[in-house]
Amino acid sequence: MRTLLLATALLAPSQLVSQAAPADLARERADRVQWLSADPLSPARAIALATIPPAGLTIGGDASDIPLGTATSATVREAAGRVTLTGWGPDRTLPAGRATATHGVRLLPFGASGRTQLLVYRDDKPGKRPVYFPYSTAAKLSVTLTPSAPRVQRILAPDGATVEATEIGTVAVTFGGAAVPLRVMRVSIGEDESQLLINFRDGTTGAGTYPAGRFVELIPLGHDRYTLDLNRAFNPYCAYSSIFPCPLPWSGNTIVARVEAGEKYPAEVVPR
């Protein structure tokens, strides 16, 4: 115990005010780090995202829609809900929602038939490791949702996909100054599941965190109460690969103070 105390005393002052992240958040972060830095389908490994046109998408050779520098090219087509790959060996079906590995890439068709998109991940493109501010107890807030009349609109989700979201109200956040109402959108992630997302800017935006702002998900506490844990603020996919459309922070959602919590922007040198 004495050794531990001595070690603590030697830490820099800025580290002394922070605490270790709670176990569940630490685990979530470890999974996210693993995913972004090492998973074959890390957004950082994505090299192309394109809607499959009626004539098909070519991939491979230098003259292709999606050049890979390979000697041969293939074509991805969609008809009646079925996506096929021709030209690289025998014709094969690319199952929707699943990645097919071939020629050093992974091909993942997704989305509604007729507007099916193809995501291409390159195996030899390195992943990126997200970096975080030290855990801050001050950044974990309890908030109350002030409901508004639900309004359905199309927004860009964190993965850059255009989705229908329902604006359901605001939560007032007091963080180093005046209370700011942050708009909250419900985004469906399945037939029965949804996320309550806030896309926001703060004093660190473009100065330590991603220039296009960050997302954070509300955690329900029951009734209209929620935890807004800004330690869980995360970057949209476009922070890790420029192929993903980048959501613009929703108007009004600006915290003037610096929220030094959650995910940083690894491409920038973070000023100290």
Partner 1 sequence: MTKVRRASCVVRGVYLAAIALGALSSGAHAQRQWAAQLDLVGGPLYFDLFTESRGARICNGSECSAANWTRDADSLRLTIPDYDAVMVAAVRNDSLIGYYHNIGRLGPRTIPFRARARPDGILRAPQRRELYGSWDATFTTDGRTSPRVFILRDGGEGMAGAVISNTGDYGRFTGRVEGDTLRFSHFDGSFIYMFTAHLDGQTLRGTFHAGLRTQTSFTAVRSTGQRHLTPPEEMTQADTAPFRFAFRDLEGRPVTQDDPRFRGKVVIVDLFGTWCPTCHDAAAALKGLYTRYHGRGLEIVGLAYEVSGDTATDARMVRTFRDKLGLPWPLLLAGTPNAASQNATQPQLVNFTAYPTTLFLGRDGRIRRTHAGFYGPATGAAHTALIADFSREVEQLLSE
What are the residues binding partner 1 (CB under 8 A)?
A: 23-24, 27-28, 31-32, 34-35, 39, 41, 80-83, 92-93, 95-98, 108, 110-114, 149-150, 158-159, 166, 168, 186, 188-195, 217, 219-220, 222
Question: In what helix (H) or strand (E) does residue 33 lie, and over which residues does it extend?
Answer: helix 23-38
Which residue reads 């193809």 in tokens?
118
Closer to partner 1 by Cβ: residue 85 or 203: 85
Q: Which is nearer to partner 1, 203 or 210 (CB)?
A: 210
Residue 68 three-state SS: coil
* Residue 24, Cβ density class (10 Å: 0-12 exposed, 13-18 middle, ≥19 buried): exposed
Nearer to partner 1, 66 or 99 (CB): 99
DSSP 140-195: EEEEEEEEEEEEEEEEE-TTS-EEEEEEEEEEEEESSSSEEEEEEEEEE-SSS-EE
Measured from the CB atom, is 37 or 254 closer to partner 1? 37
Alpha-carbon Rg for the chain, nearest whole angstrom, is: 21
